[in-house]
Chain A
Amino acid sequence: MNVNVPPGAIANAPHPVEWPEGALTRVPYWIYQSPEIFAAEQQRLYEGPIWNYLCLEAEVQKPGDYRVTHVGSMPVVVARDFDDEVYAFENRCAHRGALIVLDGGGKARDFTCVYHAWNYDLKGNLKAVAFEDGVNGKGGMARTFCRSDHGPRKLRIATFCGLVFGSLHDDVPPIEEYLGDEVAAKIARVLHKPVVVTGRFTQVLPNNWKLYFENVKDTYHASLLHTFFTTFRINRLSQRGGLVIAPNGGSHASFSYVDKTSTDHDYSAMGIRSDKDDFALKDTTILDTVDEFGDGCHMQILSVFPNFVLQQIHSALAIRQILPNGIGRTALNWTTFGFSDDTPDMKRRRLVHNNLAGPAGYVSMEDGAVGGFVQRGIATASGERAVLEMGGTEAVAEGTRATEASVRGFWKCYRAQMGI
């Protein structure tokens, strides 16, 4: 489909485009279904004044290291040049538009498009055009052709705590301002020393990307849908914890602290499915938490608008990159990591704790499917809307996680960026 429709196209969309009454507490279902919205998201979000997570600095650690990724639907190359700086550019040859880099990453001195051998440096500058001066005095490029006038689009780069972010927009705020102080501090507490990538997986979700991002921010559902945690009193809503939301609404962190003495009757009184006291594990390594960050926080889920999640569930550390794969499909790219000074015990603990998350994760498995339940449920309901009134009507963090404040924050940020 054409992702470069002019901004005015939204007004001509066949779907209703007026946001329903109720400001942040109503979400119309056409937002997950409309091709026009999908196209506008590429222009206004991914290529707009926002920061896209691209990769870890650890993945482009040495000069010549490169990784491919996406900014929304745009293919992108991230590389470290020999000046030791990280660069990123659209993975599109300036000649005919073919992909410049075909694999997922590796080491290179430069890049050559396979189609007509146009050559690029690690910054994405066009350095050589095959037969530029012709062959035996014949042919060659027009005299007016100037290599420096041609090249793939380049991204601005910002790094924060070993994370590489890219933006295509000139007016993007500094990364620290974009994240907000509180979310930035929550990133820094996890990524406080050199990381080592331990694995990469992609989970393909049968739903629009926004349904997954909302799910990440939805502290209300966590202990209701994911019964593994509640069963072991790892994530009761009454447990000590909290929520911070960035000023722009788009980024958040939710966290909880170990409190094994807490018992509460909120769940059993309500007869909710997630309370199963007879459920006991034979091997409790997965519940064996260590206070590796020295602050008693055993779980933190953090998001940065529009495509980044940082996960700490016990010692299971991962980054999840959320990328649209069409209107009703999302690629969730998992990068699991540890630290370079992990002991053998810690390495094993992380391997075991990784069972909590990922496509087969005891805790996150349901999140792979629940977005699809919504996408299928709303099949003919583009004129209807979701209700987000838990914890009030604002996108402000309160002392509880039984709230949809963070989801409302997502819509606040989304609508501001999209202009709808």
Chain B
Amino acid sequence: MAEAITLERIMALQAAYIRCIDGNELERWPEFFADECLYKVTSAENHRAGLESAIIYADTRDMLTDRVLSLRQANVYEKQSYRHILGLPSILKNGGGEAECETPFLVVRIMHDGQSDLFASGVYLDTYRLDGGDLKLARRIAVCDSSRVDTLMALPL
């Protein structure tokens, strides 16, 4: 019988995930995902309408690694950081080594000069999977409430 995925484990993963991004440890960010995974940032309007294209789309974990490499090596953007605040996760389905979960988020973007703005709000539509005893994200779709993005989205949500 498969090991259970508990709310506590999901929340621990979520806490580590936002700590990784907000703490500028992006190199570790892909490690939260399973080898076979989907990560997407889209808007509620596109998601509702079934429009598939995304602001960020990665369907392999290597693509996540590549994004971090590009952000570190190639892309030019002003120094900035995020502060993620998560709401309470709702587990919608759980069993057979997989759990589906929905968690609201707020992201404040802090620019190098101190300018802080509410950058994004939305909901993570997640699928968690046990991978050799480790809990991993098999799917994370960050559905932003708004279709507007201010200036650019450098760091992932």
Residue ranges of A at the interface with B (Cβ–Cβ < 8 Å): 104, 197-206, 225, 227-228, 231, 276, 279, 281-283, 285-286, 336, 347-348, 350-352, 354-355, 358-360, 362, 365-366, 368-369, 372
Contacts and interface: CB of A to CB of B under 8 A. Distances in A.
Interface of B: 41-43, 45-46, 51-60, 62-63, 65-67, 69-70, 73-78, 147-154
B53 A350 contact: yes
A282 B65 contact: yes
Given A352-B57, A359-B55, A366-B77, A282 B151 contact: no
Contacts of A281: 62, 66, 69
Nearest to A205: B151
Interface centre among A205, A231, A355 (most CB of B within 10 A): A355
Contacts of A358: 55
A354 B147 contact: no
B75 A366 contact: yes
Contacts of A282: 62-63, 65-66
9 contacts: A197-B51, A201-B149, A227-B76, A228-B75, A276-B74, A279-B69, A281-B69, A283-B62, A286-B63
Contacts of B57: 351-352, 354-355
B53 A366 contact: no
B75 A227 contact: yes
A360 B154 contact: yes
B119 to A, nearest CB: 11
A359 B53 contact: no
A128 B55 CA distance: 43
B51 A199 contact: yes
Nearest to A360: B153
Contacts of B78: 369
Contact of B74 (A205, A228, A352, A372): A228
A218 to B, nearest CB: 15
A336 B55 CA distance: 10
A156 B109 CA distance: 43
Contact of B54 (A279, A283, A354, A362): A354
Which residue among A204, A225, A365 has the maximum number of chain B CB atoms within 10 Å of its CB? A365
Contacts, number: 120
A227 B60 contact: no
B46 A225 contact: no
B148 to A, nearest CB: 5
Contact of B42 (A199, A279, A366): A199
A365 B154 contact: yes
Contacts of A354: 53-54, 57
Contacts of A286: 63, 66
Contacts of B41: 360
A206 B151 contact: yes
Contact of A276 (B62, B73, B148, B151): B73
A372 B53 contact: no
A284 to B, nearest CB: 9
B54 A199 contact: yes
A272 B43 CA distance: 37
Nearest to A332: B149
Contacts of B52: 198-199, 347, 351
Contacts of A197: 51
A285 B64 CA distance: 13
A225 B76 CA distance: 8
B114 to A, nearest CB: 15
A366 B153 CA distance: 10
B133 to A, nearest CB: 25
| 3 pairs of A and B residues whose beta carbons are closest in the complex | A199-B53, A368-B152, A283-B62
B25 to A, nearest CB: 19
Given A198-B51, A199-B52, A283-B60, A362 B147 contact: no
Nearest to B55: A360
A169 B64 CA distance: 49
Given A281-B69, A365-B152, A202 B74 contact: no
Given A360-B153, A369-B151, A283 B53 contact: no
Nearest to B154: A365
Which of A283, A285, A351, A362 has the most B CB atoms < 10 Å from its CB? Answer: A283
A346 to B, nearest CB: 12
Given A199-B46, A360-B154, 9 more contacts: A201-B55, A201-B148, A202-B148, A203-B151, A204-B148, A205-B151, A276-B74, A283-B63, A365-B76
Contact of B63 (A285, A360, A369): A285
A283 B66 contact: yes
